[in-house]
Amino acid sequence: MTESDVVNVARGWIGTPYVHQASLRGAGADCLGLLRGVWREVFDCEPGSVPAYTRDWSEPQGDEILWRALSERMKAKDVDDEAPGDVVLFRMRDRAVAKHLGLQAKIGVLASFVHAYCGHGVLETSLSAPWQRRIVARFAFPLDQKG
């Protein structure tokens, strides 16, 4: 399995409706559900247990739960060291917790990422300047390990 295989798996989810807490290709996924589904297709297992979560999870406490969980399972990279298949973590508002993520599909001038976005479902989006400014962390998909 290569980084481009991870991108192809993620692209296979495009068109899946956005459904909070779901992780089933074609039926529904949120951004974490997309990552979980891609992980399952790559490693044939779950990346770990995921407790039920609300749309505002970790916000009242200011707890970077998602960032911490990604750090435990993946290798952190410099945010500018982009590669296809990377998991990118976004902070959607200043001083808010980082809680949106996607998988980098293309790099360079035509950079893009695949993500599940409320109201849109799973899609591939240009990694335009407004999105790039929101990236707070980047992780290599751990292809050198077994789930």
Residue 84 counted as domain residue: yes
pTM score of the predicted model: 0.92
- Angstrom CA distances, 134 to 40, 128, 137, stand at 27, 10, 9
Q: Looking at the domain assignment, is residue 21 inside a domain?
A: yes
Q: Is there a domain that residue 95 lies in?
A: yes
* Structural domain that includes position 18: 3-140
Q: Would the CA dihedral through 132, 37, 77, 72 be positive or negative? A: positive
Is residue 146 one of the residues assigned to a domain? no
Residue 147 in any domain: the answer is: no
What pLDDT score was predicted for residue 62? 73
Residue 32 lies in a domain: yes
Cα-based torsion angle of the residue sequence 46, 51, 57, 58 in order, rounded to the nearest 10 degrees: -90
Q: Sign of torsion, CA 95 63 20 11? A: positive
Residue 89 within a domain: yes
Tokens of 4: 């481009």
In Å, how far are 3, 95, 121 from 117, measured between CA atoms?
22, 21, 5
Locate tokens 């707890």: which residue?
63
pLDDT digits (tens, 9 = 90+) for 108-145: 999 999 999 999 999 999 999 999 999 999 999 988 76
The CA distances from residue 32 to 2, 69, 129, in Å, are: 21, 11, 23
Assess if residue 106 is contained within a domain.
yes
pLDDT at 60 over 70: no
Domain count, the chain: 1
115: CATH: 3.90.1720.10
